[in-house]
Structure formats: structure tokens, C-alpha cells
Structure 1
């Protein structure tokens, strides 16, 4: 076997994160994507002793476990990779994948509480970020998600199962509107063009809707007509925020150089477990509201009785978890390096009448030294790369008796747990929460006890 060879094989084991490992001759074949039992044609990208990395070229035959009817974009869109698998089977697959990661790091002796499914496995997202482009060179304007494996081609996902009809209405009306205006979309290759992104956010429990159109400053276009068009849409939710973000950054990401409020206000509200949160266009908020309520309930159960405890909420973001814990805590300190998130966290604490919450901007290790209290309990909810080794050391040195670690990436979680073990923390219990149905991702909640 050599580079550029084309091979055919049956997909064997699905690994966490959306990859698969199969056996071909005397080699382990590693591939992005693939569902156990599928027969595929793939091109060899690179080979090593006993191993090869390949790219799928064609799906030859579906797997016997693919018994669900997917959306019309499935296998073309880069979004839901396991939508064709029944939801109960998806949960089994994710549970096994997470346990495999723990076993690979020799993490044993804890109570595993299984996986909890999302209250909704379709139409569950409260935020979508769409990109302007075209599906084929010099084709009509499209607005939606990237095609699978393509960095440029964009398909208008008007049949998406992830979001409700309000999202679809805004999406299709927006692409029709700008197609008529014949405005150019922004090309990341030469950084020329105008239309960049459309971001839609919805308060699932408050029924408030936000639409944020993102453009460069290269065209002087009056957005009032677009605003009026949106206001005339028959959306189920109340359209309380229409925004125009100017982004002249070179990165293929939604950044803000200037924010213009076209209608209403620059935020929506969302409610989680009886608490109310102000969600701005760029603040982090869990994309599955009903799932977030389940996730935070599990975290609260892991924390247990904490009436007289000082809680440190590290990597606190906009303070959601810290505020959920605050009602039954002596004091909550939230530490987050992004200043805008800290401002939002303190505003939300005030909105909820929580006087025992304090959110501070800064690096975790340095900021904690200035706090007058020592933690009884630490909650850690880091970004996907996990916790840096130095931060694990610093967190451990705080001396808390209990740590609850919430992770969106069990691959980095298990590595961090090995480090915490070196500082005397033992795994007590683990539970998975599926926040991302039909995708390869899952949240994992862990409780650690100081020996």
C-alpha cells in the first residue's frame, strides 16, 4: 500500500470525535468519518508501519445500523455525521467511546453513571452561524454550512433537522433578499466582498429571537430594507434584536469591529433552571438550552450539599454554572480571562439578585492568589483544549476537597485527570450528557475527591 492508492473496506470501530479505525490487510486504517458497517472507497493519504491514514472518496453501502431517515442534506453537509443512526444507538456508541478513553489512560475504580440523552434530539439548537458563499464556482449566492470536506463550497441548509422553522425562515428569506440585491459575498482567498455571515440566536425558554447580519465595510449598503423584511416574517418567536456587525478581520471567523443595532436591543434573554441570563451576540452560551438544564442539574447533584461552602468556578464564561450553584453556596467566585464574559456574568448575577457571586477577570493561577477565601469546592469547565499542566498544578494547590470537572472534550479530559491524580485527586464518579445529538460530540461530568 502506498500514497494515492484507492482501497475499499468495511468500517469497523468508531472512535470519539468522528473518526474510525478499520483493518485492511495488516494495517489499521484511520479515517475521518465512517459508521460501523459502512462499505467505503478511500484514498490513501499516508502510510506508516502497520498503519495508514485515508480519506473517504465514496460511500458504497450504508451500514445495517443506519435505519433513521436523515435530512435531505445528509452526506453532503458537514454538520450531523450520525443522523442516520437511531438516537438510542447513538447514545450507546458515545458511552462506549468515552469509556474506551478512560480505559486507555488506566483510569479505573470510579462509579460510572452512564449517559443521559438530550431532551430533544432534533430541533434543539439555540444558535446557528451561517456563511455566505456559493455551492459551485460562479453559481448563485448560497447561505448555510460548508459542504463535507470542503473549505469553500457552501450549501443552503433549508431542510436542517438541528433547528426549528424560525431559523429556516430567517435563513431562506435572507439568501433570497441578498440574491436580488446582487451583492458580492466575502471571499477568504482574496479578502474581497461584502456578505460574510448570518448568526441567529433564540431564547428557547423566553421565545426571543436575534438576527445578526455580518458584513465587511467594503460596500455602503443601507440595511433598513433588510430589517423591514425580517420584521414582516411570520416567526413564532418575538424578533427583539436585529443587528449589523462590521467585520474586516482576515480570519474566517465572526469578529466585531463595529456593532450597529438595526432594531430592538443588542441581546436576548434565556432562562435556565429558574435563572435569567442576558445573552449578547458574541457571548458563550450552551447551544442546547434544554440539554444545558440537564447538564447543570447533573453538576449540581455531583456537588451535593454545599450550603456552607466557598465555590470557585474556574473558566466561568458568562457565569452560568456558578450562578446555578450560588443559591446553595456560601460564596461563589468565578474566574475567566475574557473580560467581556466577566462583565456579562456580573450583570447576570445582578439580574438574578445573587449577592454571593463575584466574577473576576484574569488568569486563574494569578487571580486566585488575590482572593481572601480558600475554596471548599472547585468547578472546572475549560475550553476544548482542556487544562494546561501548570494550571492543573495550580488548581490542585488550592487544596479543595472536591473538584467537579465538566468537559466538552473527553480526549483532553482523561489526560487532565491523569495529571490531577498525581496531586492526590481520585475519581469518584463519571456521567456523560449528550448535548450534541446526531454529531460525534458529548459532554462529560466528573467528580474528583482529595485523598
Structure 2
């Protein structure tokens, strides 16, 4: 894939841009295998490839420029805006929506935030597309000053973007490198974006996290479900469950599934999905994954962990090592953290692994590992 922004040195976020995709995928497999080379018996399943372009289901666009001529994209080193509305890794539905959003900025008189001068209102436009082509828009604002105008012109926006389902305003008043604030104001009747992934419908609330690459996320959940079904455990924990993707894919007759996630918004999303699917055996709770495990009376038969980049950490690794849990499915977005955590759980041996290329054109990838407790 070639990118005019990359070639012009306007954006270098995709550090592998221009390299043949097959070479990228091979290098990622090689990198992960090197990090896990202390496990020579590990079976490597074929890597899951992605589309090279148009794979991103979300766009996080800095808003700069002026009310009359807003720019959606990124900032350069001096804090000036660079338009990225033709970014090739962004989904087509998102790219098609950007001109309408720019027109809405002008129509609603939303002053772009000027970072060097610390003035203005609209900081970011956050846009997500579902597999069905429906959109969720979040406007990150410094204050509520523009809400009256946003509400006034919202009918125009919904008419101009007929696939737009959810619109919200997020308040982030501080001048610092933080994407969003805690307060979210939903401006549409519909409050969740329906994400149909495999045969599961996930409800995504504005402040909930979902994987950037829907097709590869679907493969991730299918692999997790396959490993769970092979074992057919009576009880499963999904720690760092997010909006419940692994937990809902793990549901089965007579199986007790518990999902734990620190974000209350994500848990609200997961519960909405569970209720719509009619899965009484699946329970979700907001809380710290490590604290939940350490306070539990007894472990489940199988644990799924899908932690942030830092990994599960020494406390949860130590608990899993000592818990007697027979199997663990570990989904990692940073293989270095995975390797460190595995070293802290010597009784849980990785038996199968699979690289899933969630982020083409970059060095990042996802890897799933099935761990099984070594016999005594």
C-alpha cells in the first residue's frame, strides 16, 4: 500500500507503509516467535491476515483550522493542523462522512481548538462505524457552550448522514494530551452502536472500547470460542472483558461466564448485549480484574485475559500460577508483556499460539495463546 501523506512526510504513524504486506506479516510472526522461543513445543497456527487498507473502524481526528475552513486530521510539531480525511487505512464509510462533519462544524459554529493559543471549543471528532455501516459520532468539547447550537443543527446532520445513529458530546476542558473527559452527554435517542460480530451483537456505548479492526476482532473471538468449546468448561472468567466480546462468544448451555472490566460504560454495553441475546448464564461486573481474582472463593475452570499493553502484571500472574486453573486463554496486544507474564506462570505452559494482524502498516499485532497447566 502507498500513502501520499506518508510519502510527503505529513504523517508517519504507519511506520511500515510501502512495505509489501506479506513481508509485514512474516516479520510479525517472526518477532512473536522470537519472544516466545523458550517454548519449543508451542504449536503456531496460521497467522490471521487483514485487509491492507480501509481496515480501521474508527477515526480519532484532531479538529483545527477555522470555523469556515475546519481541518480534520492531526497536528504537526508546531501544533498546526494537517488534513487526513483521505487516510487510506480508514474505512470508506468514515472517509465519506468527513466532508459532512466539516460542514457541520461550520454550520453549528464550532470553533476548532487552537492548541498553541489555548482557545477554541471543539478538540476532536471521534467516529466509529459498525459492520452494518452505521455510525457513532463523539464531539470532544472544552465546555457546554456550543451544545445549544449542536442540538439546533443536529437534525440537519442526521439528515445529511442517514447512517448516523449515535451522537454525543464529551467534555474535556483541560489543556493536556488527554483524548477525552469523564462526562459524556448523549444527544440522540439511540445511545449504543450495534456491532454485529460473528453471530453476536455487541452494543457499543460512546465511552466503551472496541477493537480497531472489526474483521480481525471477529477472528479473535472465533478463535477464543473454539478453544473454549474444545474444553467445554463449566465456568469461565473473562478478565479485562471490555464490552464482553470473549464472554458472550463463550456462552454455552449450563456454563457460568463472568466478565470483569474496570470501565462502567463498557460493562453497561456488555449487559445490554447479554440482555438482548437472552444469556442468563453470563454475568458482568465493573471492577479491577486482579482484585476480583484475589478476592474470589474459588477459581473457574478456564480464565480468559485480554489486558491492556502493560499485561496482567505480577499479582494476577502469581494468582493464576497458584490458583489451580487448568487453562488460560491470553489475548495480548503487546507480545513483550505476554512473554514477561508467561515467565511468571511456569506451571501454565503455552501449547498453541496465533498472530492476528489487527494493525497492518504498523509494527503492532495481536497474539492469542492457549495455556495449559503442566501435569504434576
Q: TM-score of the superposition, structure 1-length normalised?
A: 0.75
Partner of residue 227, structure 1? 154
Aligned pairs (5 A) from 1:115-154: 115-118=47-50, 120-134=51-65, 141-147=70-76, 150=77, 152-154=79-81
The whole-number CA distance in structure 2 between the counterparts of 1:239 and 1:180 is 17
Relative to structure 1, the CA distance from residue 342 to residue 177 in structure 2 (aligned partners, 3 Å threshold; closer, same or farther) is closer
Root-mean-square deviation (CA), in Å? 2.6
For 2:130, which of 203, 226, 229 is the aligned residue? 203
Partner of residue 270, structure 1? 195
CA contact (8 A) 2:356 2:367 kept: yes
Relative to structure 1, the CA distance from residue 183 to residue 339 in structure 2 (aligned partners, 3 Å threshold; closer, same or farther) is closer
Partner of residue 91, structure 1? 25
Aligned pairs (5 A) from 1:23-422: 68-74=1-7, 75-103=9-37, 106-118=38-50, 120-134=51-65, 141-147=70-76, 150=77, 152-178=79-105, 184-188=111-115, 191-204=118-131, 206-217=132-143, 219-220=145-146, 222-224=149-151, 226-233=153-160, 238-256=163-181, 258-327=183-252, 330-368=255-293, 371=296, 373-421=298-346
Structure number with higher strand proportion: 1
Partner deviation per Cα, 1:204-250 (whole Å, 9 max, x = no partner): 1x332112222112744611464244234366xx2212223332134
Q: TM-score of the superposition, structure 2-length normalised?
A: 0.89
1:124 shift after superposition: 1.6
CA contact (8 A) 2:205 2:265 kept: no
Relative to structure 1, the CA distance from residue 357 to residue 218 in structure 2 (aligned partners, 3 Å threshold; closer, same or farther) is closer
1:179 shift after superposition: 5.4
The whole-number CA distance in structure 2 between the counterparts of 1:202 and 1:298 is 23
Give the unaligned 5+ runs of structure 2: none
Structure number with higher helix proportion: 2
1:176 shift after superposition: 4.5
The whole-number CA distance in structure 2 between the counterparts of 1:338 and 1:332 is 18
The whole-number CA distance in structure 2 between the counterparts of 1:329 and 1:153 is 57
Relative to structure 1, the CA distance from residue 376 to residue 258 in structure 2 (aligned partners, 3 Å threshold; closer, same or farther) is closer
Work out the number of aligned pairs and report it.
371
CA contact (8 A) 2:100 2:161 kept: no
Which of the two has higher C-alpha Rg? 1
Q: Secondary structure at the match of 2:45?
A: strand
Partner of residue 357, structure 2? 434
The whole-number CA distance in structure 2 between the counterparts of 1:307 and 1:329 is 10
The whole-number CA distance in structure 2 between the counterparts of 1:315 and 1:395 is 15
Q: Secondary structure at the match of 1:334?
A: strand
Relative to structure 1, the CA distance from residue 425 to residue 262 in structure 2 (aligned partners, 3 Å threshold; closer, same or farther) is closer
Relative to structure 1, the CA distance from residue 146 to residue 302 in structure 2 (aligned partners, 3 Å threshold; closer, same or farther) is farther
